[in-house]
Structures are given as structure tokens and as C-alpha cells.
A and B are shown apart, each in its own frame.
Chain A
Amino acid sequence: MGISSNTLINMEKIRKEQGLTWLRMINMIKNNTMENKIRRSISFVAPTIIPLLFIILWELFARKVGNNAILPQVTTVAKHFININADVIGIGSIPKNILYSLVRVFIGYILAIIAGLPLGLLMGYSRRVKGALNLFISLFQPVPAIAWRPLVLGWFGVMSVATIFDLDYGPTYAIMDNFKLSMIFLIFLSAFFPIWGNTMFGVSNVQQVLVESALVLGASKKDIFFHVLLPGAGPNIVNGLKSGLTAAWSCLVAAEMLPGSMSGLGYLISHAYELARMDLIVAGIICIGVIGALFDGIYSRISDKYFSWQRLVR
């Protein structure tokens, strides 16, 4: 491979402008070669092979069984995603039900972050606060959120976002009434523990030598917290946020499947079951899976982007 001196000079100029080290520059050039492009597109295609095989096997079985009430064919399920805006079994379209589920999850999840993150930070930071609260909070941790449901229903009854904000009857009320406090509380509970626990673990596991090296540089308590403990715990915090969201999502679907629910993906599945609509159940399961995987993927990207240092620290 021949490179003229002109190209080299130009490269050096670009390198300086971008403030790159030579090593980085060379790596960037390497990543852009044809061979690498092919390799990258292969690595892009590879993860789809097994799902494709799975779908083919599924279709073969379904044809063999020949009974939509036991195993629906791929096409019957796919129909739901093609006519995505069609009203299914009288409870609105699939996207509408997804939206209800998502809004429920996000309300509960954000409340869990608001409570779990500061509490985890504080308990990781102060041994005294941890000593005082840890046992109490840990008692609740092993209880699955769903187990609280009867109690929570008793407390909150039919209270919803619509009733607490005292909305007038009308279309807004009808929508907001879908967000029952009881359900939001369950989501809150299931997301809280992973967020709180991972944050606390992250803070209390920051290497002591890092804290001490900041202290000898003249760090105040506030500096230690914001410039050592918080970033040091970052990977664990993101991990907690990720597990919290996954937990919230699965809890929500389970909660929506219980009697008393009127919308959402979980309700869609349980209602489809009453009507023996296997195809809809499978469509619902696919939505749950895909959305859960998306949540996971977003956080994995954040981890890779901002916390690559963690895997590589020796």
C-alpha cells in the first residue's frame, strides 16, 4: 500500500484538528477499510440467524398441528403487526395498549428512581444511615411486588391519576383513569429495589484508594461525593436502572393480567385467553419481549458509551 507524503501531511493536519493521538487516528482508518465494513455487516446479520430459524421451525410445527387454538401460524400472528392499528377484541389497537402499559411503567419507574437513587447514594455513603435503614428495607426486598397487590388494592382502591387530580368526566378522564395508583405502586416497588440496591452497592464499593487519593488532593466531602463516589458508582447505578426497568416491565404485565385491569398488554393477553385467541396472545408476548429487549439495549448502549473504563480497569 503506497501513501504519498501529501496524504500523510493531510492526515497529520486532520489529526491535529481533531486532537487525536496517532494511535486513535490509525484505529479510525483501520475501522473504515472494506474488509472491516464487511466484517461489521456480518456481525450485524449474525444475531438475526437464530430468530429466523426459530420462526421457520415455529411455522413448520404450526402447520403440522393445524390448530390455531394450540399454536397459531406465523402469518396469523404477523397479520396483527401488519394491520397494527386495527381494533382487537374490542379493547382498542395493540399500539394503544402498549402505550397504556408504557405510561404506567414510566410513572412507577420514575417514582422509583426519585426514591431509590438518592436513598441508595445516601446509604452507600454513610455507614450510619445504612446501619439504621438497611435491615428494614431488606425485609421487603424478597417479597415479589405482585404479592402486595391485595393490600395495595385495599389502600388505593380505584384511585387513579384522574381521581387524584380531580379531573372532570370526559375523554381525558377516561384516559387518565387507566393509570391506577395501585398498579403504579406495584411498579414502583418492583423497580425500587434493583435501583436502590445497585446504587448502594456501587457507592460503597468504590475503591478506597480512589477516595484517599482525592482526599490528599484536598477534596471536600462534597467533592468526594460528586467527583469520586458518584462517577465511581456510575456503572452499578446504570445497571440498577436497567434491572429496575426490566423488573418494572415484567411486573406490570403480570399485574395487568390479574382481574380488575381494563387495558394494557397484560390485559390484552388475558382477555385474548378468555376468547381463545392464541394468535393475539403470541402477538402480545412478542411485544412484551421486544419492548423489554429495547429497554435493555438502550441501557447497554449507555453502559458501553460512558462506562467502557469499567470493563477495562485492571
Chain B
Amino acid sequence: MNNIVFKLNNIGKVYNENEKNELTVIKNLNLEIKENEFLCIVGPSGCGKSTLLRILAGLELPTEGEIYYRGKVLRKPTKDIGMVFQNYSLMPWLTVEENIALGLKFQNMPKERQKERVNEYLEMIGLTKFRYSKPYELSGGMQQRVAIARSLANNPDVLLMDEPFGALDAYTRIQLQKELLRIWEKYKKTIVFITHSVDEAVYLADRIILMSRNQGAIEVDIQVDIPRIRDRANPRYAELNQHLLDALEELNKGQ
């Protein structure tokens, strides 16, 4: 059952077209993302990772080529494609439970069922006690948990994540990586995950792609077949880590 979720055909993205500050970020990019795949995107800063993810979310339209989501051209955001932003994306005026219920409210789900769903996800992220708290009362890690719960409560088909753990300390980050894998296995989502950290990619991904600043070209595209739960002490883990770091360094040299 290897259905294709996303298919990108010769995607190009030019910002400020026909202006002095015109900038080609992505050119001729081809990519297929399969169902249930955990795809990590790594690459130097400014290479167009976020741009690509925003195109997948329907928040940005490609200036060239087509993007298909489950066989249909994607033109705007949909509730089936969820996204977790790097930080501060919770509605600051809503409580934790209201934030988690937000998507359900947009779908006009009956109040009773909203409540059940919210309880389930509060439990999942272990923040039931904080259901009446406002986002500013939570730590960064807790806020990201809520943001993830908010996306998942909406039961999306795909979850896009743009450096969701980038602003967290090392320990919280590792905790959340574990939680995310657990969630991914339980709910069987397709996940596209951007990270600066090669280690994070190797720990999480089924497949890793490395983008370069050369118009967002995909320089490396590898499957990670280390069994989960991955052990950072495993020699193959270290080897892959090193291989990717070398490739990344090579890319940075070329700039």
C-alpha cells in the first residue's frame, strides 16, 4: 500500500517576480512523498526548506510546475494537511483546551465530541492538568506539545513540521522526538519534518533529503533502515550521521 501522498512536478518558486529583488529559491524540483512516510528535510539555512514546506501546506503557491496532493492539484490549505510551526503559533487568548479544539470548531464538530477529542489529546501530551492555562503560562516545550496536539486533534492525513523542536533544550527535544515517534506509529500519519539537526533527522526519519542552496536542489535522498527505537550508540547510526554531516559541509563549502 505505497500510495503517493504528494507529487511535485518540476516545482519552481521565485519570490518578488519581475522586481529588482527577484529571488529564485527553488527550481525544477521533483519529489514524491509516500503514505506513512516519515520524511526529514535537512539543508543549510536559506536553502528553501520552509518554502518547500509551505508549498506542501498550500500556504504558498509554486510559481512553476504543479503540486498534487492525493492526485489533485493543491491550491490552498486544507484541514487534511496539518502544520506545526517553529514556535508561538498558539492563539495566545485561548486556553490550552480551546487551542486544541480550534480546528474542530472550524469543522463544526458537536461540542460533546470536541470535548472527548480534546481530552484524548490532552492525555496524549500529558497536559490534562494545564487545560485551563493560557499559552504564556506554559514552557516552550509544553507549547509545542499543545501545537502538535492541536494539529493531530484535527485528524489530518499529513503532518508538516517546520523545525518544531528547534527552540527547545536538548533534553526536552529528545523527549519530544520519542513522543512524536510514538504518535506517528499509533496514528499512522505521513510526516514531513524540517530540521537543522542531522542527528534529529537520523533519529526520526524513514527517509532523509538534503537540499542545497543551489536553487533548492535535492543533493541527497536516502532511506534510513535502522530499526526503531534507534540507539544513538549504534555504529550504523553514527556512520549515517557522519555521512550526512560530511555532505552538508561539502554543500556549505560550495557556496
Residues of A within 8 A of B (CB): 19-22, 24, 207, 209-210, 212-220, 223, 227-228, 231-232, 234, 307, 309-310, 312-314
B57 interface residue per 8 A CB criterion: yes
> Known contacts A19-B132, A212-B85, A312-B136: does B92 contact A217 (CB below 8 Å)?
no
B26 interface residue per 8 A CB criterion: no
Cβ distance A114 to chain B, nearest Cβ, rounded Å: 25
Contacts of A313 in B (CB 8 A): 88, 92, 135-136
CB <8 Å contact, B136 and A218? no
Looking at A20, A215, A223, the one whose CB has the most chain B CB atoms below 10 A away is: A215
Cα A218 to Cα B108 in complex, Å, equals 11
- B133's closest neighbor in chain A, by CB? A21
CB <8 Å contact, A217 and B154? yes
Looking at B81, B103, B154, the one whose CB has the most chain A CB atoms below 10 A away is: B103
CB <8 Å contact, B83 and A219? no
Cα A215 to Cα B57 in complex, Å, equals 9
Select A231's contact among B82, B91, B107, B147, beta carbons within 8 Å.
B91
Cα A214 to Cα B82 in complex, Å, equals 10
> Known contacts A209-B85, A312-B136: does B93 contact A217 (CB below 8 Å)?
no
Contact with A along B47-79 (1 / 0, CB 8 A): 000000000011100000000000000001111
> Known contacts A19-B132, A212-B59, A314-B136: does B106 contact A219 (CB below 8 Å)?
yes
Select B79's contact among A209, A217, A227, A314, beta carbons within 8 Å.
A217
Contacts of A19 in B (CB 8 A): 132
Contacts of B129 in A (CB 8 A): 21-22
Contacts of B132 in A (CB 8 A): 19-21, 24
Select B82's contact among A22, A210, A216, beta carbons within 8 Å.
A216
A-B contact pairs, 15 of them (CB 8 A): A20-B132, A21-B130, A21-B133, A22-B129, A209-B89, A212-B83, A213-B147, A214-B106, A215-B77, A216-B59, A218-B78, A223-B105, A307-B93, A309-B92, A314-B88
Select A210's contact among B81, B91, B160, beta carbons within 8 Å.
B91
CB <8 Å contact, A213 and B93? no
B134 interface residue per 8 A CB criterion: yes
B209 interface residue per 8 A CB criterion: no
Ranked 3 nearest A-B pairs via Cβ: A218-B79, A217-B103, A312-B136
Cβ distance A12 to chain B, nearest Cβ, rounded Å: 13
Cα A216 to Cα B130 in complex, Å, equals 24
B102 interface residue per 8 A CB criterion: yes
> Known contacts A213-B83, A215-B59, A217-B150: does B102 contact A309 (CB below 8 Å)?
no
Assign chain B's interface to a size class: 20 to 34
Cα A21 to Cα B133 in complex, Å, equals 9
Contacts of A231 in B (CB 8 A): 91, 93
Select A217's contact among B102, B133, B135, beta carbons within 8 Å.
B102
Cα A79 to Cα B160 in complex, Å, equals 72
> Known contacts A213-B85, A309-B93, A309-B134: does B59 contact A218 (CB below 8 Å)?
no
Contacts of B59 in A (CB 8 A): 212, 215-216
Contact with A along B81-120 (1 / 0, CB 8 A): 1110100111111000000001101110000000000000
Looking at B83, B106, B132, the one whose CB has the most chain A CB atoms below 10 A away is: B106
Cβ distance B158 to chain A, nearest Cβ, rounded Å: 10
> Known contacts A309-B93, A314-B88: does B77 contact A216 (CB below 8 Å)?
yes
Looking at A220, A307, A313, the one whose CB has the most chain B CB atoms below 10 A away is: A313
Cα A231 to Cα B105 in complex, Å, equals 15
> Known contacts A21-B132, A21-B133, A212-B85: does B92 contact A218 (CB below 8 Å)?
no
Cα A214 to Cα B107 in complex, Å, equals 12
Looking at A215, A216, A228, the one whose CB has the most chain B CB atoms below 10 A away is: A216
CB <8 Å contact, B88 and A223? no
Contacts of B57 in A (CB 8 A): 216
Cα A29 to Cα B77 in complex, Å, equals 47
Cα A31 to Cα B57 in complex, Å, equals 47
Contacts of A309 in B (CB 8 A): 92-93, 134-136
Cβ distance B163 to chain A, nearest Cβ, rounded Å: 13
Select B102's contact among A20, A220, A227, beta carbons within 8 Å.
A227
Contacts of B92 in A (CB 8 A): 309-310, 313
